[in-house]
Amino acid sequence: MDEELGKLGCAISILLTIVMAALAYLYIYQNQLHSGGASLLDMRKLYAAELPDLPPIKLTLEQLLKFDGTRSDGRILVALKEKIYDVSNDLLEFGLHGTLSHVAGMDFTQYLHETEINRWEIILQKNYSCVGIVIESDEDLDED
């Protein structure tokens, strides 16, 4: 009888250890999601990497604002010198908590000095896809 109780106690100890480990994992995972931890960023980066290529687009500045990373698809576009670049895969820089999140969905040409514009143009052309142009209004769409 003592041997059976010993086996039962051992089995219960193992089961409790597994349950505690699972609860600890869920607790940590939940806290990282709510605090904007690395796992959420990694999940968004993986999701962004799966976004399909955009066909050539024409957007007004108002329409461009919608591509700031808050859309359901997570797409992030920026414009420089009226050219639109897809920076969706660079969440560390352009994502919601990124160092350049304030320019997501914007044409940031006007905020830069001429030397900075040239430098950023090289960076964007080298690292990101140019997916379109900025237009003045929806009426400009008919001019093609």
The pLDDT tens digits of the residues spanning 90-106 come to: 988 998 888 999 999 99
pLDDT given at position 29 = 60
Whether the Cβ atoms of residue 48 and residue 93 lie closer than 8 Å to each other? no
In this prediction, the residues of the chain whose per-residue pLDDT falls under 50 are 38-41, 43-47
d(CA 80, CA 64): 12
Whether the Cβ atoms of residue 26 and residue 33 lie closer than 8 Å to each other? no
CATH superfamily of 52-139: Cytochrome b5-like heme/steroid binding domain (3.10.120.10)
Domain boundaries, given as residue ranges, for the chain: 2-35, 52-139
β-strand partners of 7: none
| 67, burial (CB in 10 Å: exposed 0-12, middle 13-18, buried 19+) | buried
pLDDT given at position 30 = 62
d(CA 37, CA 24): 16
Buried b (16+ CB within 10 A) or exposed e, 95-124: bbebeebebbbbbbbeebeeeebeebbeeb
pLDDT given at position 24 = 65
Whether the Cβ atoms of residue 140 and residue 133 lie closer than 8 Å to each other? no
pTM of the predicted model as reported, rounded to 2 decimal places: 0.65
